[in-house]
Structures are given as C-alpha cells and as structure tokens.
Amino acid sequence: MGEFGGNDGLRGLRIADTRDNLDRILAALTASDTKVVIAGITLPPDYGPDYIKQFNETYSLLAKKYHLPMLPFLLKGVFGTAGMMQADRTHATAAGNRIVAQNVLGLVQPLLKKN
C-alpha cells in the first residue's frame, strides 16, 4: 500500500499538478490490473480553506474517475487523539498506525479474495 499526494500538498504544489501526478499514477496502476484503493489525507489549517478544500477533493474525484474504493481520511480515529500522533503532528505513532491499518483493512480485504 502506498499513500501519495500528501507531500505535494505540504509543499504547496499547484492542485492541478498534484491531481495530474496522482492521475498518472492511477492510470498506470489500473492499466496494469493492479488492485488499488484510495485513502485521502488533509492538510494543516494554515494552508487556507480554499487550497485545503481543493486538495481534499482530489482524492474523491480520482476515486470516482477510476471507480475505486476510498477511505476519506487515512488518519480517521488517529489525528487529534492523544498518543496517536508523533510530535511532528504529521505522522502516526506505532499505536496510531495500528488504527490506520484497521481503517485500511476494510478497504483492501475484499480485494484480497480470490475470484
């Protein structure tokens, strides 16, 4: 599993560029019949509401375009919960990552079943 796009947002890249980068990654993965899920992430409030809104919409737009299952927020139940985030407030602790894994498992488990 990989999560892409967060660093583009943190670097303040143009939304169009981030979307194009993710779109190209998803196009290549889906063309190769790789099973893909999308997990969204958001940015700190100091990036401004307009930029954050557009950034957040990137994940849902691409999930719809490629008909992919989506977890709207990768850090659900982790971000803002005591002991779940490292001091940098960007990365989960070991305990937080266990919750992230549970969040993602619900998306990927159906894809692991043999046809």
Res 64 pLDDT > 80: yes
Single pTM value for the model: 0.84
| Whole-number average pLDDT of the chain | 91
Written out in words, the top-level CATH class of the domain with range 6-112 is: alpha beta
Residue type, 19: R
Please give the C-alpha separations between residue 15 and each of 35, 65, 71, 113, in angstroms, as whole numbers: 25, 17, 20, 35
Where in the chain are the domains? 6-112
**pLDDT attached to residue 10:** 86
**pLDDT attached to residue 11:** 87
**pLDDT attached to residue 4:** 66
